[in-house]
Amino acid sequence: MAEIELRKLRKSYGAFEAIPPLDLMIEDGEFCIFVGPSGCGKSTLLRTIAGLEDVTAGEIRIDGTDVSQRHPGERGAAMVFQNYALYPHMTVRQNMGYALKLAKKPKAEIEETVERAARTLGLEELLDRKPSQLSGGQRQRVAIGRAIVRDPKVFLFDEPLSNLDAELRTRMRLELADLHRSLGVTMVYVTHDQVEAMTLADRIVVLRGGRIEQVGSPLELYDNPANLFVARFIGSPSMNFFRATADGNAIAITELPGLILPRPDFVPEGWSGLVGVRPEHFVINAAGGTEVRLRAVEHLGGVTYGYATLSAGTGICVDLEGRREPGAGDTIALSIPPECAFFFDERTEIRLR
């Protein structure tokens, strides 16, 4: 068990600064997830913690000790990779025991540790197979098993599920949540999939250009995004945005004529910017709503989404709350409950509140 503290951690590749000085505290036992678009520095940050990249400046403290100059094997952290990185010529048993063999542990101890890890992961029947005789999900479990046998204080995962199909991803997600609960160790996990982040994380760190945009629990980020970037990134389907202007004490949404919101105190007079609304927050077909024609309707079974394109080309998504009607081509009336509207400055991307 260990906390991880990053102090003014910086990472450059030559003249390119991938991570500008960054401070972050990851609590003991926390499941902490780094998210952000491709190239935002998630892997760089994780690999720097693991010791697979050297730090340009700053400190990485694990359990109170600065490990930034230590060899990867001496940090108490174990990394699980997206491509599993298993040895193809070794059996599952040999793959899982390899780190212990290198550490010159007694044979009986290796055997026992590997079998215990195999039981935790449901791999007992597969110990004598080679990686080529396993499914993607089983390989991923072996890769995790290889980390478990080292009894690390910290697990580091770099997009461990992105090579799996959708069904397996869901199952492995639940297994990782169980594993975190049963081991009680600190886990740092990188993904570009915000559904994974929302379902697994105690806390999410949203990164852009190597900088932290916001840190918080999944629902804190969903309910209280600090800025336009986080509001866009968290939530699936994502938040809808509309150009709007304040006129006196009213806010008019340009592309939804007739839809007027009261101007909150924190929105200045004469303001213009973006109003954000989550798909599930529209009120449908109430008196006084603004009419919109649906371009497409997606029935996912329990959930139904309607899509429309507004006059200036803005695409919107509306949660139709499981309705079987309307269909594509039909018209619905939309209103926005004032307390559900978010307000953003378009230039600075800051959220007004």
Ligand X SMILES: Nc1ncnc2c1ncn2[C@@H]1O[C@H](COP(=O)(O)OP(=O)(O)O)[C@@H](O)[C@H]1O
CA distance 54 to 273: 42
Instruction: Identify which range of 38-46, 133-141, 195-203, 277-285 contacts Mg ion by CB under 5 A.
Output: 38-46
Q: What's the closest the beta carbon of residue 210 comes to ligand X, in angstroms?
A: 7
| From candidates 2, 43, 113, 318, binder to Mg ion by CB under 5 A | 43
Task: Please tell me whether residue 194 binds ligand X under the rule CB under 6 A.
Answer: no
Residue 306 touches which of ligand X, Mg ion, none (Cβ within 5-8 Å per kind): none
198 vs 341, beta carbon nearer ligand X:
198
Angle (nearest 5°) at CA 216 between 214 and 221:
75
CA distance 66 to 4: 10
Q: What's the closest the beta carbon of residue 53 comes to ligand X, in angstroms?
A: 8
Sign of the torsion formed by the C-alpha atoms of 313, 317, 318 and 324? positive
Q: Which residue type, as a one-letter code, is found at position 41?
A: G
Residue 153 touches which of Mg ion, ligand X, none (Cβ within 5-8 Å per kind): none
Task: Please tell me whether residue 39 binds ligand X under the rule CB under 6 A.
Answer: yes
Residue 39 touches which of Mg ion, ligand X, none (Cβ within 5-8 Å per kind): ligand X
43 vs 138, beta carbon nearer Mg ion:
43
35 vs 67, beta carbon nearer ligand X:
35
Q: Which long-range contacts (CB under 8 A, 24 or more apart) does 91-94 make?
A: 91/127, 91/128, 91/129, 91/130, 92/118, 92/123, 92/126, 92/127, 92/128, 92/129, 92/130, 92/131, 92/134, 92/142, 92/145, 93/118, 93/127, 93/128
Instruction: Identify which range of 22-30, 40-48, 234-242, 310-318 contacts ligand X by CB under 6 A.
Output: 40-48
Between strands 250-253 and 283-284, the pairing is unpaired
| From candidates 2, 5, 6, 41, binder to ligand X by CB under 6 A | 41
Q: Which residue type, as a one-letter code, is found at position 63?
A: D
43 vs 194, beta carbon nearer Mg ion:
43
Residues near ligand X (CB under 6 A) are 13, 16, 18, 36, 38-44
